[in-house]
Amino acid sequence: MAEKFIFISGGSRGIGRAITLSQAAGGTQIFLNFLRDEESAEAIQKQAQAKGAKVHLIAGNVGDPETVAAIFKTISQKTNHLDAIIHNAALGVFKPVHQLRVKDWDISLDVNAKAFLTLTQAAIPLMKEKGGRIVAISSLGAQRFTPNYGAIGISKAALEDLVRYLAVELAGFGIRVNAVSSGLVETDSLKAFPDFEKMKKEFLARVPGGRLGKPEDIAKVVNFLLGPDSEWIMGQTLIADGGYSLC
């Protein structure tokens, strides 16, 4: 069986960690990007390698195009093909939109949306001959108002539009581009949200699924989009929120 090569941004914590572990298997090499938490990155590296994968840790802020170029220079030294990239890394502040500083706006757009474009552009030379899969992680705040979530929500809306445009433009190379939008998923990042307990209570009172999401719930959808059964899905944002958006 041919070796698989996968790049994951923000792959050491939360949803990214679950995605990394879901892809870890013998014959798979994972290029795991993280920002600063080297301890978490090394811990997930050990867990993934215990499952048979080979994991290359690559630190860096993917919101910086020069860093993205350096990351892919490193990847290109180890393989001439990528099977998949998953853009999970996200940054942003929790405050009303009308109180955002320009710096707050730029950080969110750079890491959550612009990085998806530059990562994809860098990956195309490693994908266009054999095809591949590209998946972005979004959230419900891209499509509906969420208090104090404007900077991130707006950047995720841009991300979802990028998915649609790239899906059409890259289809001829056999590259499938999609996104996964999550509801409330219990991670350390979510717990940093203002009024987390109040928001959690309101979500639980309304969600048909009866619970908050788990990182593994999102990883399973990503796994589907990376697999052969999603061949006919292109440019879509699959919602995994326990039915919350239906109510």
Q: Show the CA angle centred on residue 105, arms to residues 87 and 69, nearest 5°.
A: 40
Ranges assigned E (strand) in the chain: 4-9, 28-34, 54-59, 84-87, 132-139, 175-182, 237-240
Residue 148 lies in a domain: yes
Of 4, 114, 156, 244, the active-site residue reads 156
Gap between the Cα atoms of 176 and 84, Å rounded: 9
Is the pLDDT assigned to residue 247 strictly greater than 90? Answer: no
Q: Are 34 and 43 in contact (CB under 8 A)?
A: no
Domain count, the chain: 1
pLDDT of 198 reads 84
156 is catalytic: yes
The token duo for 100 is: 């955002």
Is the pLDDT assigned to residue 211 strictly greater than 70? Answer: yes
> pLDDT tens digits for 165-207?
999 999 999 999 999 999 899 887 777 777 778 888 888 999 9
Tell me which residue range forms the domain holding 97: 4-242
Average pLDDT, stretch 211-239? 97
pLDDT above 90 covers a percentage of the chain that reads 89
244 is catalytic: no
Residue 18 lies in a domain: yes
At 1, the pLDDT band (50, 70, 90 cuts) reads low
Is the pLDDT assigned to residue 45 strictly greater than 80? Answer: yes
> pLDDT tens digits for 148-165?
899 999 999 999 999 999
- In sequence order, the 6+-apart residues with CB closer than 8 A to the CB of 108 are 91, 92, 93, 151, 152, 154, 155
Is the pLDDT assigned to residue 234 strictly greater than 70? Answer: yes
Residue 56 lies in a domain: yes
Is the pLDDT assigned to residue 236 strictly greater than 70? Answer: yes
Best CA proximity match to 239, nearest among 221, 223, 226, 215: 221
Residue 146 lies in a domain: yes
Gap between the Cα atoms of 68 and 75, Å rounded: 11
Residue 90 lies in a domain: yes
Average pLDDT of the chain is 94
Best CA proximity match to 226, nearest among 86, 116, 105: 86
Residue 247 lies in a domain: no
CATH number at residue 142: 3.40.50.720
> pLDDT tens digits for 3-35?
999 999 999 999 999 999 999 999 999 999 999
Of 149, 165, 191, 201, the active-site residue reads 149
Average pLDDT, stretch 94-103? 94
Q: Are 57 and 41 in contact (CB under 8 A)?
A: yes
**Owner of token pair 């048909």:** 208
